[in-house]
Amino acid sequence: MISVSVVDELATEGRVKFSLWILGALFAVLGSAVLLRRPDLNSARWFAGFAGAAAVGLAVGPASAGPAPPWALIVQFFSLIGVGFTCLPFVATLVLDGYRPRKSRLVWAFAAVAVVLTLGYGFSVSLLPVAYEFVRPIFLLYVAGSFLGSMVVLAIRSRPREAFEMRRNSRVALFGITAGTLPFVGLTVIPEVVVSRSLVPDSISVLAGILIPLSFAYAITQFNFLGIRRLVHRGMVNLLTGLFTMTLLIGGLSAAESIAGELRSGAASVVLRAALLALGVGAFLILRRGARSIVDTLFYGGVAQYEDFVDLVRSDQLSIGSSGEVIDGIAARIVETFRLESVVLFLGDRPHRARLLTAVGPRSNEVVGEIYPGRASQIWESHGSDLLDLRWDSDSLLVMALKSPGHQIGFAILGPKAAGEVFLEEEKRLALTMGPLLAMAVDQSILSTELRELNQRLVGAQEMERKRMAADIHDGPLQKAIVLTRPREGASMEQDELAKELVSELREVCSRLRPSIIDDLGLYSALEWLLDGVSDRTELLTSLSLIGVDEDDRFDPDGELTLFRITQESINNTLKHANATRIDVSLSRSADELVLMVVDDGVGFSPSPHRAGGAATFESGGVGLSGMRERVIHINGSLEISSSPGTGTTVMVRIPALQAQSHVGIEA
């Protein structure tokens, strides 16, 4: 048997035992962490098996040295069989694309040899001890062959012609396995087989194995080895914090119980121990929470709080205008609150109806293009559940249902978490709590979008009807009126003047319904014509100024018509209500917006303020203001109306630069 047969003096030394136990613990922790982070990955599962077998063998190594108890020898034999059986398949699944251990002849051959060795070992232990002399060298060669075969495979995949990531991963694994196992194989195992005596005690040579967990842990933290972005996540740290707190508390209670047992006896001692136990449980719950809070604050910045999230969303809603911007703002706050790399919202209650609503975060394109298509079946199979845990490689995601009263309107994909972290239970509960808030915002966005589209169609229909009516008047009554103005016998001067007035009024009506000048000559000419008409009909002084805009500039037709209609409505309000003496209109363009201002010096009014973007805007205060606001919303602009008694009124319209497309105008 490979007895970790060290000299009895070395086997009993506390430092050697401690070193073997520490090394075994490192293998156990690394194997467990890798399995927890990537349970879906074949190579991760095989590595966890390899690390677990190595941890068991190292843990019982001191007990199997010298005059060993039978259980230790048996456990060590099977653990080393496990090390030999799992090492090569782990390497193969790591570096060979499409490798399937269950269909591999090599794996089945190794399994067959392991079965034969197990049967031979059982036969030698129970029936014929001398047979162990034949089993032992085969057993040693089996373990050594697995290590050496792994080195050969890794060396082949480390060649320069291989892809960079494959070459890097192979070289990391080759360094760890070679440096960690070659001293044990070359100085202990091979000499044991050849001359029945090791050159270096196995309790010493096996310590080089520490390079395996260290090199793998380094590769994970630096290169996302095995597809793991973070080896120890926040949940693991909280678990370790709880275990550490429990260990300290048990130690303290044990000391207290020992002292209490010496001071008292009988029933009093039993009561005191029961009291200590109850005190310990209560103290553990309090101390665990306190220790966890300290760790969260020091290393993770605390846990997301629902109240903070709601406050941020409320402030955003006060400063953001459109419903689409509100949803984007809420999604951005979710990214910030949960420290996510993506939040994606989908609308629809069936796979074929799902459509993307918004995607926020640096990895949102990956979620939309790769993660959602790859996990769509899993998401829709859980349709109806409020929250679904989802994994993508080592990343943690949540799928949250968006439910309106009576039906599901869509779902949100939260994550991955930043830096490879996972969702804590507190964060999952927070996600469930804020789900209705997000669903309400989405539902309102849908209704707002539908209303806006309906209103836009109505405005379009209104403009078409105005255009049709203007054409009908122009082609019918106006032409007849023009005929009446022609000189004819028997017509009185009064009739001629009346016919001319009729022609003028009909032309004015046509222009008001749909001014052809805006289609033919552009916005500047239409505004100039509008102000000239005001000056001719009234005693008001008017002016039109351009800043960064040329007279022959043409813009998007919807934008031109909207600015003209708002100017027209503002002037009508001034004429009806303001008692003004002057109207000034200005049109300016900067790098990112087109701005129209209509200013009068009238009596003003006291509007009701509504905050939006930090500027005062108003919902009432004159005829047609709601219609003006709707027109601006259709072209993604903003309307601000400023007024107070005695200071006049200013109407300002801003259109984003994307809505203003300049091209060569038509000369008047």
Q: Is the pLDDT of residue 320 over 60?
A: no
pLDDT of amino acid 650:
93
Nearest to 583 by CA among 571, 572, 573: 571
pLDDT band at 508 (very low <50, low <70, confident <90, very high): low
Is there a domain that residue 475 lies in?
Answer: no
pLDDT of amino acid 94:
86
pLDDT band at 483 (very low <50, low <70, confident <90, very high): low
**282 & 317 share domain:** no
pLDDT of amino acid 236:
62
Tokens representing residue 444 in the block: 């309102």
Q: Is the pLDDT of residue 58 over 60?
A: yes
Q: Is the pLDDT of residue 359 over 60?
A: yes
**330 & 365 share domain:** yes
pLDDT of amino acid 548:
87
Is there a domain that residue 566 lies in?
Answer: yes
Is there a domain that residue 491 lies in?
Answer: no
Is there a domain that residue 473 lies in?
Answer: no
Tokens representing residue 133 in the block: 């002399």
Tokens representing residue 469 in the block: 């009516």
**268 & 413 share domain:** no
**268 & 320 share domain:** no
pLDDT of amino acid 455:
67
pLDDT band at 147 (very low <50, low <70, confident <90, very high): very high
pLDDT, average across residues 225-254: 69
Higher pLDDT, 246 or 200: 200
pLDDT digits (tens, 9 = 90+) for 189-224: 888 888 878 888 888 888 899 999 999 988 888 888
Higher pLDDT, 320 or 357: 357
Looking at 300, 318, 345, the residue that finishes a domain is 300
The number of distinct structural domains making up the chain is 4
Nearest to 625 by CA among 664, 572, 582: 572
Looking at 450, 470, 498, the residue that finishes a domain is 450
pLDDT of amino acid 466:
66
**204 & 323 share domain:** no
**252 & 350 share domain:** no
Higher pLDDT, 271 or 6: 271
Is there a domain that residue 87 lies in?
Answer: yes
**Cα(625)–Cα(255) distance, rounded to whole angstroms?**
80
Q: Is the pLDDT of residue 177 over 60?
A: yes
**436 & 336 share domain:** yes
pLDDT of amino acid 66:
47
> For residue 148, what is the domain's CATH number?
1.20.1070
Is there a domain that residue 571 lies in?
Answer: yes
pLDDT digits (tens, 9 = 90+) for 616-626: 334 444 446 77
Distant-in-sequence, close-in-space partners of 402: CB < 8 Å, separation ≥ 6: 345, 408, 409, 410, 411, 412, 435, 438, 439, 442
Q: What mean pLDDT is reported for the chain?
A: 77
Is there a domain that residue 474 lies in?
Answer: no
**325 & 345 share domain:** yes
**524 & 627 share domain:** yes
> For residue 566, what is the domain's CATH number?
3.30.565.10
Nearest to 446 by CA among 409, 399, 484, 417: 409
Q: Is the pLDDT of residue 658 over 60?
A: no
Looking at 433, 450, 467, the residue that finishes a domain is 450
Between strands 355-360 and 343-347, the pairing is antiparallel
Q: Is the pLDDT of residue 51 over 90?
A: yes
**Lowest mean per-residue pLDDT among 258-272, 397-411, 493-507:** 258-272
pLDDT, average across residues 166-194: 89
Q: Does the pTM exceed 0.75?
A: no
Is there a domain that residue 504 lies in?
Answer: no
- Integer Rg of the chain from CA: 41
pLDDT of amino acid 178:
92
- Domain of residue 283 covers 235-300
pLDDT of amino acid 308:
61
Q: What does DSSP assign to residue 7? A: -
**224 & 239 share domain:** no
pLDDT of amino acid 4:
40
pLDDT of amino acid 666:
33
pLDDT digits (tens, 9 = 90+) for 249-292: 666 666 666 665 555 555 666 666 677 667 767 776 676 676 66
The two counts, helices (H) then strands (E), for the chain are: 23, 12
Instruction: List the beta bridge partners of residue 650.
Output: 599, 642
**288 & 324 share domain:** no
pLDDT of amino acid 148:
92
CA atoms within 13 A on the CB side of 480: 4
**224 & 355 share domain:** no
Say which residue the tokens 């309790």 belong to: 203
